[in-house]
Every structure is written in structure tokens, then in C-alpha cells.
């Protein structure tokens, strides 16, 4: 309940002020920051544009579009991405933003399910997230999420894989240092989905989790799995108050 109390009091930013934390954006070179900030140079905007088209496209037997229910995304989706993952009443579990979009398609449009990390789902998530660009991350304080956040904390601190390393060993103990030529961030998920130069495409946070687990020689979970959603919940709580970047660019 301590975590929930901190969230209700204004987020974990009360314990660690936003100015005391560094995002991946702040650790990038001036050139990469300029690329992200310029809509004409940010490659992630291609996915945002694709998502805007999908938002208006009729889907399913009834030919309903996202816009048919939600209207203009600039109004209806403003601040939404900053609150996810959130509780889903029907499934009795939290879902991340991509999971919510996928559920809307199947439940309300009768459309074919989209897999996590598929290009259409990333495009829709990027478009929805764009409507919250610059807004502070504000985790859902629903008490039913507390056990899931605790699971995420345990996963973050648990040693795994053949290298016997935990997320916290890099992102807490050595944040700000370097792993080879790459800077080690504090693991604040302020900009997902994001365009990574290494990937040469857009990818979600669960893909990044998988990369890290592979790096320590542990078996990744499936994208969209409850473990990844729990870990995302915990990390978003740590990032409370930091501005959302949509779409972010990273090396």
C-alpha cells in the first residue's frame, strides 16, 4: 500500500523529483535529440501517420472505425497513454496500451486480433501516444494494480539468466555509466513505442524487455505477457511525473 499512497500523493515523483531523474532522451547526443524533436526528421512519425489512417479505417463486420467511437483522437486520447497500463474489468487484469487497442478491435469492432509488436498495432499505439506527447506520466492508482506492481518490482530486482543479473544491477546500480559504447539509462519508459536506430523501425517496450533478457542469456517472455505488463506497471510508477515522449527516438 505504500506504493499506492505515493501514487495518490502525486506519484513516485514525490520521492524522487523529476529533476533528480534522467531519461534516455537526456542521455542522447544533441543530434539525436534534434532528430526526435523535429517532426520532419523523426522517423517514428511515419508510424504515427500510418496510425492516423488506421484510426479512420472501418474494420470488422460492422465497418466501425476507432474514430466512429472515439471521435477526434486529439481530444479523446489526450493523456490516455500517460495512464497505461490500466485495469481491464472484463479480464480482471491490467492491460498495456497496445493490449487495450487490441481488445477494442476484437470486442467493439469485431475485427481480427493484432499481435503485440505487429506493425499495425505499433502504428495505432504510436498515434494514440502522440496525443499525450509532453504530458506527465500519471500511473493509474487503482488498488487492484498494487499486486501487479509488486510483481513488477520483484521481476526488476530478480537475478535471471546465465549471467545472473537483474534489471536493477544495470539500471539502478550502474545508471549513467556505459556498457561498451552504449549509455546505461535509468529504465524510465517515457517513449514507447519508439524508433530505435539499432532496429531501423518502431518497437514496443516488451520488445526492449526481450532484448535485455536475451542479453543476460535469459529466456524472454512473450510480448503482452502478464509478466511484462507487471514490469511495465512498476517502471511507469517509477517514471511518474516525467514527460511522455511520442514518438521517441533512441540509438
Last residue of a domain, one of 99, 130, 161: 130
Residues 203 and 116 in one domain: no
Last residue of a domain, one of 90, 107, 130: 130
pTM of the entire predicted model: 0.90
Residues 99 and 193 in one domain: no
Residues 71 and 188 in one domain: no
Question: Is 70 assigned to a binding site?
Answer: yes
Tell me the percentage of the chain whose pLDDT exceeds 90.
88
The pLDDT tens digits for 188-229 are: 999 999 999 999 999 999 999 999 999 999 999 999 999 999
Could you give the residue numbers annotated as active site? Answer: 212
Angle between helices 97-104 and 119-130 (to 10 degrees): 110
Task: Name every residue whose Cβ is closer than 8 Å to that of residue 106 and which is 6 or more positions away in sequence.
Answer: 112, 113
C-alpha cell at 206: 516488451
- CATH number of the domain encompassing residue 175: 1.10.760.10
The residue ranking higher by pLDDT, 20 or 148, is 148
Residues 206 and 157 in one domain: yes
Question: Is 238 assigned to a binding site?
Answer: no
Q: How many domains does the chain have?
A: 2
Tell me the percentage of the chain whose pLDDT exceeds 70.
92
Domain hosting 106: range is 45-130
* d(C-alpha 24, C-alpha 152), whole Å: 20
Question: Is 208 assigned to a binding site?
Answer: yes
**Inside any domain, residue 135:** no
Continuous segment of H or E residues that includes residue 248? strand 248-250
Residues 65 and 37 in one domain: no
CA 55 to chain centre: 19
| Residue entry with cell 493509474 | 140
Residues 76 and 99 in one domain: yes
Task: Name every residue whose Cβ is closer than 8 Å to that of residue 191 and which is 6 or more positions away in sequence.
Answer: 23, 24, 25, 244, 245, 246, 247, 248, 249, 250
Residues 35 and 148 in one domain: yes
Residues 158 and 246 in one domain: yes
Residues 151 and 245 in one domain: yes
Question: Is 170 assigned to a binding site?
Answer: yes
Taking 70 as the threshold, does the pLDDT of residue 2 lie above it? Answer: no
Question: Is 116 assigned to a binding site?
Answer: no
CA 171 to chain centre: 17
For the purposes of burial, counting CB atoms within 10 Å of the CB of 163, is it exposed (0-12), middle (13-18) or buried (19 or more)?
Answer: exposed
C-alpha cell at 184: 546505461
Question: Phi and psi dihedrals of 244, rounded to 5?
Answer: -75, 140
* d(C-alpha 147, C-alpha 140), whole Å: 13
Residues 55 and 172 in one domain: no
**Inside any domain, residue 183:** yes
Question: Is 104 assigned to a binding site?
Answer: yes
Residues 26 and 74 in one domain: no
Last residue of a domain, one of 130, 154, 173: 130
Question: Phi and psi dihedrals of 176, rounded to 5?
Answer: 95, -15
**Inside any domain, residue 82:** yes
**Inside any domain, residue 17:** yes
Residues 50 and 27 in one domain: no
Amino acid at each position: 500500500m505504500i506504493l499506492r499512497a505515493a501514487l495518490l500523493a502525486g506519484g513516485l515523483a514525490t520521492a524522487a523529483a523529476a529533476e533528480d531523474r534522467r531519461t534516455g532522451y537526456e542521455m542522447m547526443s544533441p543530434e539525436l535529440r534534434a532528430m526526435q524533436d523535429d517532426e520532419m526528421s523523426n522517423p517514428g512519425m511515419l508510424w504515427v501517420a500510418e496510425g492516423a489512417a488506421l484510426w479512420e479505417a472501418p474494420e470488422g463486420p460492422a465497418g466501425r472505425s476507432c474514430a466512429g467511437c472515439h471521435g477526434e483522437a486529439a481530444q479523446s486520447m489526450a493523456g490516455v497513454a500517460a495512464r497505461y497500463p490500466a485495469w481491464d474489468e472484463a479480464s480482471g487484469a491490467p492491460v498495456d496500451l497496445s493490449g487495450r487497442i487490441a481488445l477494442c478491435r476484437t470486442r467493439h469492432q469485431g475485427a481480427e486480433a493484432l499481435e503485440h509488436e505487429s506493425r499495425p498495432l505499433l502504428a495505432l499505439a504510436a498515434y494514440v501516444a502522440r496525443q499525450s506527447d509532453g504530458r506527465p506520466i500519471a500511473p493509474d492508482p487503482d488498488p487492484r494494480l498494487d499486486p501487479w506492481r509488486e510483481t513488477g518490482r520483484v521481476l526488476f530486482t530478480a537475478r535471471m539468466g546465465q549471467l545472473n543479473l537483474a534489471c536493477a544491477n544495470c539500471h539502478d546500480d550502474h545508471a549513467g555509466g556505459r556498457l561498451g559504447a552504449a549509455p546505461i539509462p535509468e529504465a524510465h519508459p517515457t517513449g514507447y513505442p519508439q524508433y530505435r536506430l539499432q532496429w531501423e523501425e518502431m518497437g514496443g517496450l516488451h520488445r526492449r524487455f526481450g532484448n535485455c533478457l536475451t542479453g543476460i542469456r535469459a529466456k524472454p517472455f512473450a510480448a503482452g505477457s502478464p509478466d511484462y505488463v507487471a514490469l511495465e506497471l512498476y517502471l511507469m510508477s517509477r517514471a511518474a511525473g516525467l514527460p511522455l515522449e511520442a514518438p521517441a527516438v533512441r540509438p
